Chain A
Amino acid sequence: QSALTQPASVSGSPGQSITISCTGTSSDVGSYNLVSWYQQHPGKAPKLMIYEVTKRPSGVSNRFSGSKSGNTASLTISGLQAEDEADYYCCSYAGTSTYVFGTGTKVTVL
């Protein structure tokens, strides 16, 4: 199972919106509405930000939103804040109780 493809880096100024893409295949992202997104600050454990493509766990800011079209999922961060600077990973269910993560995207707040 190959890793899902994400851009290595995305940057934006405070207050702007950015979008991170996550491209898989018809065997993972394209087959299931089971894409999740994780935020990871340096030296910290990952934090769930989005699950089932669009759902936000309790406590996650509504500045974070998810979507999917075909084999590509996306995470949008609106009203970018300094605290959003982190690594972001997508993850897709890939069938038979297996999962595949994305390559990761470093978000920089300019």
Chain B
Amino acid sequence: KAGVTQTPRYLIKTRGQQVTLSCSPISGHRSVSWYQQTPGQGLQFLFEYFSETQRNKGNFPGRFSGRQFSNSRSEMNVSTLELGDSALYLCASSKNSGKADEQYFGPGTRLTVT
């Protein structure tokens, strides 16, 4: 079974631009969660989508948004990029949404904002 895939793997953007990252979950998984990983803050939860609905949201500004499509693929968008948005963005998928479900992580998208 193919794992979680994320595209692109690397991205360089300029301050003020916007960016869209994509995540394809494992086949049959309906939940997709997004995380931001930085050296200073570690792994921080951004949001979770399940059956095309946002189920949970972390403490990030409104510049960070996401969506999920009917095939469970998910995108996250960051508008008006800031230098501090430079990070590794990870997505994880699970069969369902809830405490008991194991999350499988993708390789991440490394975003650099200059």
Interaction A to B: no
Q: B residues engaging A (CB < 8 A)?
A: none
